[in-house]
Structure 1
């Protein structure tokens, strides 16, 4: 099952899973990361473009909770569903992506 998390609720989700070392997985393309990226946060962040995920799946630990992020939430939802099918037990989608993050949580992040 894939949870839907609003950007402002991510801190609570991360805290609830802190003992399992949660990960935020940004699945956007490198050019998108150059336009808008998350600032330093109290969580681990990994960037693997959606198109590279299958080839790089071994880089991810299925025992760790993973919250997926993209531009608006569609790609990250597809990745979250894929990870759940691959045996990742705790997977979430950050609803609205980095665009919602910028609008609702951190207006210092550029919108594109």
Structure 2
């Protein structure tokens, strides 16, 4: 059974503050990440490059995936889960929720 857990922006903020070991994966386009991103992002692989580059991801720690609102990141999470990654989280609301709830200095689009 394929499952992707969700994580709230509040929990992600706690993970970042506590320096919990995890990968924060942005799957948006190069243009989107140039416009804004969540501080602490340590991996950027555009969604369409995931099938060719997924081996760059460390499966020894949780992977939190995000995009603009959470739809693309959920698809990537399901794909990664299907090919054997286990500890996958989709950021609920994506960077839009992050900029609205956690850090309003990050521009919205």
State the TM-score bracket (shorter-chain normalisation): 0.7 to 0.9
- The answer for unaligned runs of 5 or more in structure 1 is none
Structure 1 residues 67, 27: closer, same or farther in 2, change over 3 A? same
Structure 1 residues 77, 17: closer, same or farther in 2, change over 3 A? farther
- The answer for unaligned runs of 5 or more in structure 2 is none
TM-score, normalising length: structure 2: 0.88
* Residues in 1 aligned to 2:15 and 2:63: alpha-carbon distance in whole angstroms: 10
What is the aligned length? 107
Matches within 5 A, 1:1-112: 1-13=3-15, 18=20, 21-39=21-39, 41=40, 45-112=42-109
**8 Å Cα contact 1:17-1:65 kept in structure 2:** no
Tell me the CA shift for residue 12 of structure 1: 3.9
Name the SS of the counterpart of 1:54 in structure 2: helix
TM-score, normalising length: structure 1: 0.86
